[in-house]
Structure 1
Amino acid sequence: MPFCSAPGQAVTFPDAVFTAATSVCVTGLSTVVMATRWSNIGKIVILCLIQIGGIGLIALANMIFISFRRKISLKNRRIIKESYNLDQMGGVVPVMRSVVKCVFLAEGVGAVLYAICFVPEFGWKKGMTHAVFLAISAFCNAGIDLFGETSLAAYVSSPLVNLTTIGLIIVSGLGFIVWWDLWDKFRKIIKKELSPGRFFRVLRLQSKLVLTMTGILVFAGALLVFIFESGNPLTLADKPLGTKIMASFFQSVTTRTAGFYTIDQSRLSTSTVIISLLWMFTGGSPMGTAGGVKTTTIAVLILSIVAYLQGKKDVEVYGRRIRESYLRSAMVVAGTSLLILFTMSVLLSAAMPEADLADILYEITSAVATVGLSRGLTPQLNVTGKWIVILTMYLGRIGPLTLGTAVVAKVRNMPGSTTHLGEEDIMIG
């Protein structure tokens, strides 16, 4: 609509659809400069779409029903139960309220911390606008900001902005189930019902896998980026040691579907680009705001490979066996994402033959994993390229998750059969 565009800034329909898609899919890729192309009303619309995409449509719809004192249908209760891995359908309303409260609390804390930096720099009105917008965008892993074309590059040496953004991205990427599990164990420690030494041991398997994979990805990614970029004259070579460390951690964390950057992505070394592609594809954890194939999916695939190489029949970790239905789901999610990635890369290459292959792979991986990082290709997309990336963002946000959930549900509901077809040998490898 005209009132959403800034004065003198016309927006084409494909750009409007692209902006809506990147906002509700919490991706962050943008064909226009968000800070200058949209009016205040347009920015509010974008922020609302980001919040909807972050909380989730199911959670939002049911919270509206709860607010109007309408009953949640049995079907929706069953969906919420499956989505949040609840033991029973009786407590879905408190769960939904807890989710929304946690989201707004985290975003509020982030906004306050950002305000400490932005208000002295921009004044109360503009400073608070930047703080609130960035806090919501960071927590929802949207990667959209109002600073123009350079994202957070101006704050590469700011510990407050870096640590706040990293914190919001990691916390939201852990997932609500892990939040509640951690909080439950912390409460037991405070009440002296649980010794601190047994804290990790009594966590649910979901929490253990998420925390382990998150720690490995964050620190391993930061170490690799530090090694590859410390001597790169185009990025960190002339930066102090503290800035190099912060920038390395920021790059490691933001590639897991956040989309902000403090280092120009087009100037990264080839080694860092490859690492970033792998980290983007992995993404965050289930039931959070992050995208990607998820940390648990990669963990299950790695564990299954290790188990089969060791000749084990079952996939085991932390003293537990992982169900076969989850192995199937992991293969479907990863395989589907790779298929989308390959198909869309080919289509975008055909639509933009002049574009560099590395830029296309970076763009499509960022879109399918809903990351939002780009090497500068997004503003150069032609009309066909824009629709390809829009479809990729949409498929990346709902495709693998929906398929994975459907596979698990189908396997669980499949009646047992005593009839099996005859076996025949084939050659593998």
Structure 2
Amino acid sequence: MTRGHWSKRLLTPPKILVFGFLIMIAAGTLLLTLPAASATGISIGPLNALFTATSAACVTGLTVVDTGTAFSVFGQTVILLLVQVGGIGFMTMATLIALVLNKRISLRERLVLQEALNHGTIDGVVRLVKKVILYSLLIEVAGALLLAVHYVFSLSLPPGKAVYFGVYHSISLFNNAGFDLMGSVQGPFSGMASFVSDPYMNIVLMALIFLGGIGFIVLSDLLEYPKVRKISLHSKVVLSATAVLVFVGGLIIFLMEVNNPRTLGPLNTGGKIWASLFQSVTTRSGGVNTVDIGGLHQSTQFFMILLMFIGAAPGSTGGGIKITTFVLLLGAVHAMIRGREDVVLFRKRIAKDVVYKAITLTLLSILLIILFAMLLSVTEDHDFMSILFESASAFGTTGISMGLTTELSPFGKVWVICLMYLGRLGPLTLAYALTRDNKKEPYNHPEGKIIIG
């Protein structure tokens, strides 16, 4: 067997994604360790650099140092490039370069793209890549312009700096990363809190998070709807479930926090509504918040953990188990209660292997969060709610924190780094990468009976 044949068997699409992210994180760590990446000219250290590079490449947004004050323009640019490549996928960027050079995209490369974009088949995957790049560019440019204009008037920033802030935050929010530069004008780790009651900023920021979180397949369906007059089952599930989770989530946060003096209490009615909706949207994997997460009631914090666990849509820049997985689980429960054999969504029967995959993904994800929450409980001297919140945020690549991130011990940083990486790849991708090719058994085992419930 030739070396090339062996490499093709060993480097499956999931393994290419696993090693690709590792290479990208390693390169980012090396660059962020350089003194030139630091605002003070003194290196932030390899562990902090590794944490930041992982958070950026995995579009999480958890930070151990403030992005706006701790990094130079060079360091901030490295982070932004990692966010951009990590958000739309390094294979997407590689394909773009190949297309520019008029290189043919091989079948193997199409298979990797299919895995990276969570596309159902390899048919049309290159066309989808072109759409991903075009849609990302258009949305990020529009977001940058809208934000830059507002920064000039709301923060009195010079036009050049306002454009820089606009571009940075547009790319960061669309890719659901949550890195911001507000610390350089309003103090370290200030985030977007000053815009809590600002309708304009709330709408623009939520729109960027929403568009990045619904996935490129859904964006493509929406833009082509006027021409084809139909929408796929996937898009129907994503849009309907997202709408329900955002508005129901916002309502629950509003009701639980309306009188909390540390969060919504001091705001007027409009501010309470905007803040509630924003916190609900950002759990889709946004990474920024407009109220103090540590000041929320524990019931609200736990509810947000559930929302972060669900996450965004497949093929998006967000994380979590994905909203379609959550809907399939509900569908399976409904089918079992009604005594039906099949899961049916919008009058379409869902294949059983897809339902099994959703159940497997959910169980593996729960086990990962439990495992790393236990590890953090051993190494960190904090209350368990903060630890569980941090674990869910890291796994869901959400990037919001109750304040634990900046106080992590070296071991704690390592655990969160691992969880961010696993959350971005997805437990199933990692499992497929670590196992050999699955072959169908040539026989059926005899049926056994077991009592449950």
SS at the partner of 1:316? strand
Which of residues 379, 386, 392 is equivalent to 1:365?
392
Where structure 2 has 5 or more consecutive residues not aligned to the other structure, the ranges are 1-33, 184-188
CA distance in 1, matches of 2:223, 2:77: 33
Distance apart, 1:186 and its partner CA = 2.0
Q: Contact (CA 8 Å) 2:60, 2:394: kept in 1 or not?
A: yes
Residue range with higher mean Cα deviation, 273-282 or 59-68? 59-68
Q: Contact (CA 8 Å) 1:280, 1:365: kept in 2 or not?
A: yes
Q: Contact (CA 8 Å) 1:329, 1:404: kept in 2 or not?
A: no
Give the aligned residue type for 1:85.
Answer: H
SS at the partner of 1:262? coil
Distance apart, 1:95 and its partner CA = 2.7
| Counterpart check, 1:423 vs 2:450 | no
Give the aligned residue type for 1:387.
Answer: V
SS at the partner of 1:151? coil
Give the aligned residue type for 2:52.
Answer: T
Q: Contact (CA 8 Å) 1:333, 1:404: kept in 2 or not?
A: no
Q: Contact (CA 8 Å) 2:169, 2:180: kept in 1 or not?
A: yes
CA distance in 2, matches of 1:396, 1:228: 29
Q: Could you say which residue in structure 2 is the equivalent of 1:191?
A: none
Residue range with higher mean Cα deviation, 301-310 or 419-428? 419-428
Q: Contact (CA 8 Å) 2:38, 2:75: kept in 1 or not?
A: yes
Which of residues 386, 393, 411 is equivalent to 1:384?
411
SS at the partner of 1:122? coil
Task: Check 1:210–1:314 CA distance in 2 against 1; reply closer, same or farther (3 A cut).
Answer: same
CA deviations over 1:188-213 (Å, ceiling 9, x no partner): 4xxxxx5xxxxxxx421101110111
Q: Contact (CA 8 Å) 1:114, 1:160: kept in 2 or not?
A: no
Q: Contact (CA 8 Å) 1:234, 1:268: kept in 2 or not?
A: yes
Q: Contact (CA 8 Å) 2:119, 2:315: kept in 1 or not?
A: no
SS at the partner of 2:336? helix
CA distance in 2, matches of 1:50, 1:415: 39
Distance apart, 1:187 and its partner CA = 2.4
CA distance in 1, matches of 2:341, 2:441: 20
CA deviations over 1:397-424 (Å, ceiling 9, x no partner): 10325158889x98xx86585x322222
Residue range with higher mean Cα deviation, 393-402 or 47-56? 393-402
Q: Contact (CA 8 Å) 2:222, 2:231: kept in 1 or not?
A: yes
Q: Contact (CA 8 Å) 2:110, 2:122: kept in 1 or not?
A: no
CA distance in 2, matches of 1:101, 1:241: 39
CA distance in 2, matches of 1:345, 1:204: 38
CA distance in 2, matches of 1:360, 1:300: 28
Distance apart, 1:45 and its partner CA = 0.4
Q: Contact (CA 8 Å) 1:9, 1:37: kept in 2 or not?
A: no
Counting matched residue pairs gives 411
| Counterpart check, 1:71 vs 2:104 | yes
Q: Could you say which residue in structure 2 is the equivalent of 1:164?
A: 204
Q: Could you say which residue in structure 2 is the equivalent of 1:96?
A: 129
TM-score by length of 2: 0.87
Q: Could you say which residue in structure 2 is the equivalent of 1:374?
A: 401
Where structure 1 has 5 or more consecutive residues not aligned to the other structure, the ranges are 189-193, 195-201
Q: Could you say which residue in structure 2 is the equivalent of 1:253?
A: 281
SS at the partner of 1:137? helix
CA distance in 1, matches of 2:214, 2:252: 22
CA deviations over 1:149-195 (Å, ceiling 9, x no partner): 1210011111111110100111111111111222222224xxxxx5x
SS at the partner of 2:245? helix
Task: Check 1:87–1:50 CA distance in 2 against 1; reply closer, same or farther (3 A cut).
Answer: closer
Provide the identity percentage: 39
Q: Contact (CA 8 Å) 1:329, 1:405: kept in 2 or not?
A: no
CA distance in 2, matches of 1:74, 1:207: 26
CA distance in 2, matches of 1:152, 1:322: 41
CA deviations over 1:115-162 (Å, ceiling 9, x no partner): 121123211122111111000000000011001212100111111111
Q: Contact (CA 8 Å) 2:197, 2:274: kept in 1 or not?
A: yes
CA distance in 2, matches of 1:322, 1:19: 40
Task: Check 1:95–1:251 CA distance in 2 against 1; reply closer, same or farther (3 A cut).
Answer: same
Task: Check 1:373–1:164 CA distance in 2 against 1; reply closer, same or farther (3 A cut).
Answer: same
Q: Could you say which residue in structure 2 is the equivalent of 1:7?
A: 40
TM-score by length of 1: 0.92
CA distance in 1, matches of 2:258, 2:217: 37
CA distance in 1, matches of 2:131, 2:345: 30
| Counterpart check, 1:307 vs 2:335 | yes
Q: Could you say which residue in structure 2 is the equivalent of 1:207?
A: 235
Give the aligned residue type for 2:175.
Answer: C
| Counterpart check, 1:181 vs 2:216 | no
Residue range with higher mean Cα deviation, 216-225 or 394-403? 394-403
Residue range with higher mean Cα deviation, 125-134 or 259-268? 125-134
Q: Could you say which residue in structure 1 is the equivalent of 2:71?
A: 38
Q: Contact (CA 8 Å) 2:131, 2:220: kept in 1 or not?
A: no
Which of residues 229, 243, 265 is equivalent to 1:237?
265
Give the aligned residue type for 1:424.
Answer: G
Q: Could you say which residue in structure 1 is the equivalent of 2:119?
A: 85
CA distance in 1, matches of 2:431, 2:282: 25
Distance apart, 1:94 and its partner CA = 3.2
Task: Check 1:86–1:265 CA distance in 2 against 1; reply closer, same or farther (3 A cut).
Answer: closer
Q: Could you say which residue in structure 2 is the equivalent of 1:130?
A: 165
Q: Could you say which residue in structure 2 is the equivalent of 1:145?
A: 180
CA deviations over 1:91-124 (Å, ceiling 9, x no partner): 4443322210100100011111101211232111
Give the aligned residue type for 2:238.
Answer: V
CA distance in 2, matches of 1:40, 1:421: 62
CA distance in 2, matches of 1:84, 1:367: 21
CA distance in 2, matches of 1:406, 1:15: 28
